[in-house]
Amino acid sequence: MLILGIESSCDETAAAVLEDGTKLLSNIINSQIDVHKKYGGVVPELASRRHIEDIYPVVHEALAQANVTLDRIDGLAVTRGPGLIGSLLVGLSFAKALSFVKKIPYVGVDHMAGHLLSVFLEESKPDFPFVALVASGGHSTIFYVSDPVTFHVMGRTLDDAAGEAFDKVAKLLGLEYPGGPVISRMAKTGDAKAIHFPRAWLSRESLDFSFSGVKTAVVNCVHRNNLKGILPNVPDICASFQEAVVDVLVKKTIRAVRLTGAQRIVLAGGVAANERLREVMRESGNREGFEVFMPSPEFCTDNAAMIALAGYYSFENASTLTYDMDVYSRSPGFRQWHKMA
Ligand code: KG4
Ligand code: ZN
């Protein structure tokens, strides 16, 4: 079965062709970083306009690289949400048009489901159930995943997402957008113990996150230095900030695995490309005797291969040839995980 995946939820226009849920024939990603860089974040209106320009060439290139025509595609998988409404509409409308003209059934995919399952694009695949941490620019959520289409939320961020905190701290330090890659680069030459930034554990049992406090602590640290006329030590701030975020992400994920007895951890989302997070999660998980799985960095950040894959898993039950499907900016609500008595 050949699936054409289409992703346009934020600032990447992407298309991919996946065969039988395992063999990736092409994976094209057109990033809009150059458009948004000067604003220090994604400008929704500019993002939608750029998606409109890029969607046709990106899909065309994905088909060409896979060496297939639309006539060979059995199904379309397209991101429905969460994300920027204008951006999502470009991808969904394009998929609907292809579906209508070529009579190819399509399925709307939740972007988070794509991230959660992206690890299945790798050789080493986890068994079910597992606990997944999805940390991206829009989300920091811990899921209990019992099969490819059943996800329960164990914890989520109450304010900023982890990636958003990286992006905001980078902007404050005068570093470029997106902040994650540049902070992780700068952190390599800094001392992670130089400054103790706060960790928001919330209540003792809580698996929720909060990253606005650590962000404010960085603001205060920079202002204090400014008042004293001292130039902030950017590598030390980056390393110490990164350590604080990684510490909370890892410890809460480990706690979630202990609670469920799942024994397996999956790391996903753009922040999962962070080398320090990967290292600490692997070490901490292995110490507990848990298996730790993570996609290669190219599949952590937004891509259409993960959308094609998630679409593949839900295709049998969810595909359609009707055209009333809409996009959504927030996930309509995954069910909450509850410990069995
Ligand atoms: O998953 P993604 O591409 O898009 C969303 O769904 O949001 O994630 C993008 C986020 C950005 O906030 C970016 O700064 C962060 O992932 N990110 C990183 C790294 N690479 C990307 N954060 C920390 N370390 C990285 N190496
Ligand atoms: Zn994403």
What CA–CA distance (Å, rounded) separates 155 from 10? 23
Q: Which atom of ligand 1 is nearest to the CA of 111?
A: 6
The confidence score (pLDDT) of residue 341 equals 53
Ligand 1 neighbourhood includes 167 CB (under 6 angstroms): yes
Comparing 40-44, 101-105, 197-201, which segment has the lowest mean pLDDT? 40-44
Inter-CA distances, 91 with 159, 235, 304, 333, Å: 28, 39, 11, 22
Predicted model pTM = 0.96
What CA–CA distance (Å, rounded) separates 165 from 160? 6
pLDDT-derived band of residue 40, with 50, 70 and 90 as boundaries? Answer: confident
Q: Which two tokens stand for residue 271?
A: 């922040």
Ligand 1 neighbourhood includes 54 CB (under 6 angstroms): no
Ligand 1 neighbourhood includes 331 CB (under 6 angstroms): no
CA of residue 133 to ligand 1 center, whole Å: 13
Q: Whose CA is nearest to atom 18 of ligand 1?
A: 180
The string of pLDDT tens digits covering residues 270-313 is 999 999 999 999 999 999 999 999 999 999 999 999 999 999 99
Q: Whose CA is nearest to atom 22 of ligand 1?
A: 180
> What is the mean predicted confidence (pLDDT) over 94-116?
97
Contact 134, 8 (CB under 8 A): no
The confidence score (pLDDT) of residue 113 equals 96
Q: Which two tokens stand for residue 79?
A: 């991101």
Ligand 1 neighbourhood includes 83 CB (under 6 angstroms): no
Using the predicted structure, report yes or no on whether residue 197 has a pLDDT greater than 60: yes
Q: What is the mean pLDDT of the chain?
A: 96
The string of pLDDT tens digits covering residues 198-238 is 999 998 889 999 999 999 999 999 999 999 999 889 999 99
- Angle value at C-alpha 257, between 256 and 259, nearest 5 degrees: 65
- Which of 301, 303, 306, 330 for mutating ligand 1's site (highest number of atoms within 8 Å of CB)? 301
Q: Which atom of ligand 1 is nearest to the CA of 161?
A: 12
pLDDT-derived band of residue 332, with 50, 70 and 90 as boundaries? Answer: confident
Using the predicted structure, report yes or no on whether residue 334 has a pLDDT greater than 90: no
The confidence score (pLDDT) of residue 31 equals 94
Among 210, 18, 209, CA closest to 114:
18
User: Residues of the chain with pLDDT > 90: what percent?
Assistant: 93
> What is the mean predicted confidence (pLDDT) over 162-175?
95
Using the predicted structure, report yes or no on whether residue 169 has a pLDDT greater than 60: yes
Alpha-carbon dihedral angle through residues 240, 303, 293, 169, given to the nearest 10 degrees: 10
CA of residue 230 to ligand 1 center, whole Å: 30
Ligand 1 neighbourhood includes 211 CB (under 6 angstroms): no
Strand partners, 84: none
Helices 234-260 + 179-187 axis angle, to 10: 110
Contact 273, 185 (CB under 8 A): no
What CA–CA distance (Å, rounded) separates 151 from 112? 10
CA of residue 163 to ligand 1 center, whole Å: 5
The confidence score (pLDDT) of residue 339 equals 79
What CA–CA distance (Å, rounded) separates 218 from 220? 5
pLDDT-derived band of residue 70, with 50, 70 and 90 as boundaries? Answer: very high
Ligand 1 neighbourhood includes 274 CB (under 6 angstroms): yes
DSSP letter assigned to residue 219 = H
Ligand 1 neighbourhood includes 302 CB (under 6 angstroms): yes
Using the predicted structure, report yes or no on whether residue 260 has a pLDDT greater than 90: yes
